[in-house]
């Protein structure tokens, strides 16, 4: 079985743990969001790729859901002593090594996809991890505060401002000129089906779909998504702040309607949201209600099994 | 009083501690060797500048004489896990922060001299620290071993091979096309005198003098050097391996003769080497014998005082 996913960070990585348990023999390709990538201290940081890599490779901080386990903070503390910014993005020493290794490969002329493959040689995540693109695409957030109306980098909004300043909109800067990374379109075309894990529909899955060619390739396949919203609230993260900005209600049904029936064939909602199955705006999308909390691997495995079953049924 | 020094790493830095104690009101400019600079893991490492900065700024590892105090090694251990090389150059986490900060400034377009000034804003070394050049000059070592006759980077010879493979010669790659960093020639011209601390005469002082314009500017001044050789052996480091390669005996007199009376006006030797005062090859160089071991700051201060006294006498 060949499964391809579009994935963000924590939600995608946790779902993938369940998927690997549910389908140990499947060939899984993960197309990761790089719109959150940011240059910090001159180093290329790819938060979502790293979260997937660390989670599946056994190096994640389980408490946080992102970053490395057993971290120390000598490097950042020294950088602060040098007045080198920003201070609002916390990077541990072990995590720094990943960014140093990646940046060194990129500086040597390697595209991000090849650098990611090199890093994965160590972590052996059990999936093929591809960045959505080797080009520079940056998720920017339009805000208005005492500094005026302006666009800031997604990480500044998400991490420094905790998404508390309302987003007026998102721009995926550079997306229109970007191309899918090598292997991305083939992994979609050759998959038995495509899964959308419970990642942020706007700034994770949305930005991946904004890379020219990806949305069309995905729409041509059987696609099953997993709702990142349960009972009107995001399971984790601040997806509601993103949905509100683009005029989408924070509900399982509204997110599916936002993706649309051209893209989605099936949609898993939590049992709390079973009513979505009969929502008129989801005509053409097969909705199934199952428990969606990923509190432990057995629960996540059951979710992944339900996604595989629905996708298999819909592919027939 | 204005004093300008050409300095390498540990020997220069230790002498500077004594000089700051001996002449607390002097304006001291240090022109540092950057021929040992190396790109490791994509980061610009300036070992000699950092040794001066850390030593005078209170951040040096006193045991080693180079690198940071209280080091940890999380970053390098992770880089090794990624298979990112080289493993033979040990960099601690705190030291990494310096290289990250420097590289980030260089990548942003700052010349090395400005980046060095920025890093020194934190360390406040009490001297003005200038790299010899903002251009890329690399000390290469010609060796012949099982890998054939070839040039390797100075650090590979010094650190990986511990200078045990005989050097057949040195090349200061890029030196002929380099220019002194901003402020270097002025600091020499405006100094009351120039001191050469007991740094390596070949790969520290020698490479600085190879930057076009510096040797001529120095020769025009009163110059007093401090022998890095005591009783036929280098005080520390492996200067003998460098001297042998260029056909200079490892003796206090031979090093002074190598610099020559066109450059040197005065030469401090250890009391063990007092006979150098009458060596015919040192005609035209005022030789004075004083204790030269820098085992503690009072001894080093006395050495620096002797150098100042000799230079002051010779300037009259």
pLDDT at B316: 87
Q: Any CB–CB contact under 8 A between B277 and chain A?
A: no
Domain that holds residue A281: 2-134+177-315
What ipTM, to 2 d.p.? 0.92
pLDDT score of A238: 85
> Of A62-66, A119-123, B122-126, B236-240, where does mean pLDDT reach its minimum?
B236-240
pLDDT of residue B147: 83
Q: What is the pLDDT of residue A236?
A: 79
Give per-residue pLDDT as tens, B38-92: 999 999 999 999 999 999 999 999 999 999 999 999 999 999 999 998 889 989 9
pTM of the model: 0.94
Chain A contact for B93 (CB, 8 A cutoff): yes
B154 within domain boundaries: no
Predicted confidence at residue B270, as pLDDT, reads 97
- Within a domain: B63: yes
- B224 Cα to chain A: minimum distance (Å): 35
The distance from CA A225 to its chain's CA centroid, rounded to whole angstroms, is 13
The predicted structure's pLDDT at residue B226: 98
Q: How many domains does chain B have?
A: 1
What's the CATH number where B229 sits?
3.40.50.10680
Work out the pLDDT band at A235, boundaries 50, 70, 90.
confident
**B248 pLDDT exceeds 90?**
yes
Q: What percent of chain B has pLDDT over 90?
A: 94
How many angstroms away from the CA of A311 is the closest CA of chain B?
37
User: Does the residue B237 lie in any domain?
Assistant: yes
Cβ–Cβ gap B74/A97 under 8 Å: yes
- Largest separation between any pair of C-alpha atoms in chain B: 61
Whether the pLDDT of residue B235 is over 90: the answer is no
Q: B283, exposed or middle or buried, with CB in 10 Å at 0-12, 13-18, 19+?
A: exposed
A84 to B104: CB separation less than 8 angstroms, yes or no = yes
The whole-number pLDDT of residue B266 equals 98
**Three-state DSSP string of chain A:** CEEEEEECCHHHHHHHHHHHHHCCCCEEEEEECCCCCEEECCEEECHHHHHHHHHHHCCECCCCCCCECCCCCHHHHHHHHCCCCCCCCCCCHHHHHHHHHHHHHHHCCCCHHHHHHHHHHHHCCCCEEEECECCCCEEEEEEEECCEEEEEEHHHHHHHCCCCCCCCEEEEECHHHCCECCCHHHHHHCCCEEEECCCCCCCCHHHHHCCCCHHHHHHCCCEEEECCEECCEECCCCHHHHHHHCCCCCCHHHHHHHHCCCCCCEEEECHHHHHHHHCHHHCCCEEEECCCCCCCHHHHHHHHHHHHHHHHHHHC
The two three-digit tokens of residue A23, written as one number: 């389908």
Across the interface, whether the CB atoms of A93 and B72 are under 8 A apart is answered yes
Which of 98-127 (A) contact B at CB < 8 A? Answer: 98, 100-101, 103-104, 107-108, 118-119, 121-122
Confidence band of B254 (pLDDT split at 50, 70, 90): very high
Give the closest residue to A234 by CA, choosing from A4, A7, A10: A10
The verdict on residue A209 lying in a domain is: yes
How many angstroms separate the CA of residue B45 from the nearest CA in chain A?
Answer: 14
Partners of residue A121 in chain B, C-beta under 8 Å: 83
Mutation for A interface: B93, B95, B122, most A CBs within 10 A: B93
Min CA distance, B227 vs chain A (Å)?
Answer: 35
**Whether A102 contacts A5, CB under 8 Å:** no
A82 to chain B: which residues are within 8 Å by CB?
97-98, 101, 118-119, 122
Does some domain include residue A116?
yes
Interchain pair B42, A72: CB under 8 A: no
Residue A90 counted as domain residue: yes
Cα dihedral sign for A246, A247, A252, A258?
A: negative
Instruction: Look at residue A40 in the predicted model and tell me its pLDDT.
Output: 95
CB contacts < 8 A, A to B, total: 96
Nearest to B241 by CA among B149, B158, B159, B173: B158
Supply the pLDDT for residue B295.
Answer: 87
pLDDT recorded at residue B92: 97
Tokens 């890029």 — which residue? B174
Cβ of B103 within 8 Å of Cβ of A42? The answer is yes
- Chain A residue closest to B124 (CA)? A82
Closest CB to B82: pick one of A77, A93, A97: A97
Phi-psi region of B139 (alpha: psi -120 to 50; beta: other; left: phi over 0): beta
Best of A42, A120, A121 to disrupt the B interface by mutation (most B CBs within 10 Å)? A42
Chain B residue at shortest CA distance from A41:
B104
pLDDT at B86: 87
Judge whether A235 lies within some domain: yes
Decide if pLDDT at B146 tops 90: no
pLDDT tens digits for A17-38? 999 999 999 999 999 999 999 9
Does the residue A170 lie in any domain? no
């Amino acid at each position: 079985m060949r499964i391809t996913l579009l994935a963000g960070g924590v939600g995608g990585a946790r779902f993938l743990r369940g998927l690997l348990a549910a389908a140990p023999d499947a060939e899984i390709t993960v197309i990761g969001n790089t719109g959150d990538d940011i240059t910090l201290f001159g180093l290329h940081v790819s938060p979502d790729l790293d979260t997937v890599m660390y989670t599946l490779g056994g190096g994640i901080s389980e408490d946080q859901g992102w970053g490395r386990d057993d971290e120390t903070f000598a490097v950042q503390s020294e950088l602060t002593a040098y007045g080198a910014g920003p201070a609002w993005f916390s990077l541990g020493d072990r995590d720094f090594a990943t960014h140093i290794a990646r940046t060194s490969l990129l500086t040597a002329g390697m595209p991000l996809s090849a650098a990611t493959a090199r890093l994965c040689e160590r972590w052996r995540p059990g999936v093929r991890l591809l960045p959505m693109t080797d080009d520079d695409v940056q998720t920017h957030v339009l805000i208005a505060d005492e500094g005026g109306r302006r666009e800031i980098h997604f990480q500044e909004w998400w991490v420094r401002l905790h998404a508390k300043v309302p987003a007026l909109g998102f721009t995926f800067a550079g997306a229109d000129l970007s191309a899918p990374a090598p292997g991305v379109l083939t992994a979609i075309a050759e998959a038995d089906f495509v899964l959308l894990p419970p990642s942020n529909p706007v700034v994770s899955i949305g930005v991946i779909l904004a890379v020219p060619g990806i949305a069309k390739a995905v729409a041509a396949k059987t696609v099953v998504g997993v709702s990142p919203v349960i009972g009107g609230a995001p399971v984790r993260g601040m997806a509601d702040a993103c949905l509100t900005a683009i005029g989408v209600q924070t509900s399982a049904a509204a997110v599916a309607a936002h993706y649309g029936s051209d893209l989605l064939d099936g949609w898993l909602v939590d049992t709390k949201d079973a009513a979505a199955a009969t929502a008129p705006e989801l005509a053409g999308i097969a909705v199934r209600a199952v428990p969606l909390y990923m509190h432990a691997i057995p629960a996540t495995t059951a979710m992944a099994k339900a996604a595989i079953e629905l996708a298999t049924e819909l592919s027939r």
